Amino acid sequence: MTVKRVLTCVAVAATLGVVGSAIADQPFETEIEARQGQFKLLAFNLGPLVGMARGDIEYDAATAQASADNIAAIASLQQDRLWPAGSDSESVSGTRALPEIWEDTDDVMAKFEELRQAALAMQEAAGSGLDGVRGQLRTLGAACSSCHDAYRESQ
Ligand code: HEC
């Protein structure tokens, strides 16, 4: 590719970016979708572990380990850009993030760190038996609920 073609591509991409944000329906739509996306992925990967713990599906070490690996990876994502001030449920529609989040972001991020620690413990335990999954699921589930109880609007 010539230098000129590369520059043209960059220019087109930049223009599309500008147009893309100009036609966004509401402020912070992209950030809100991204943060909800990470939570959807958490829940998606928690599914098999919950199913196995309840006995709804048979324990399978590889599936349990893969789910736990994904949860640990998602819980380790850098959060800064996902929580812009003004993207709370009183300021914009389409989010359940309570304004209290921005009154004490240190506490919210501490809860996210608790989630990460619980996810790492699950990652250690998940591949070596159902007892480990059951044991760690309590801590992991508690990390989800403790943040939801404080900072997520109930439906
Ligand atoms: C540090 C706080 C925190 C932790 C920890 C947390 N959540 Fe959430 N969760 C939220 C907030 C806030 C929202 C609302 C986000 C929004 O609507 O903008 C949310 C939304 C969700 C949603 C709805 C996403 C959507 O479709 O809009 C799901 C599902 C979810 N969380 C699952 C989980 C699971 C599973 C865990 C644990 C493995 C977890 N969350 C841990 C704060 C947290």
113-138: pLDDT as tens digits: 999 999 999 999 999 999 999 999 99
Among residues of the chain, what percentage have pLDDT more than 90? Answer: 83
Of 129, 111, 113, the C-alpha closest to 68 is 129
Would you state the structure tokens that stand for residue 24, as one six-digit string?
A: 């966004």
Cβ–ligand 1 distance for 151 under 6 Å, the answer yes
Q: pLDDT by residue (tens digit) across 38-69?
A: 999 999 999 999 999 999 999 999 999 999 99
Burial class (CB in 10 A: 0-12, 13-18, 19+), 126: buried
Ligand 1 atom at minimal distance to the Cα of residue 95: 17
Cα–ligand 1 centroid distance for 74 (angstroms): 12
Q: Is the pLDDT of residue 23 over 60?
A: no
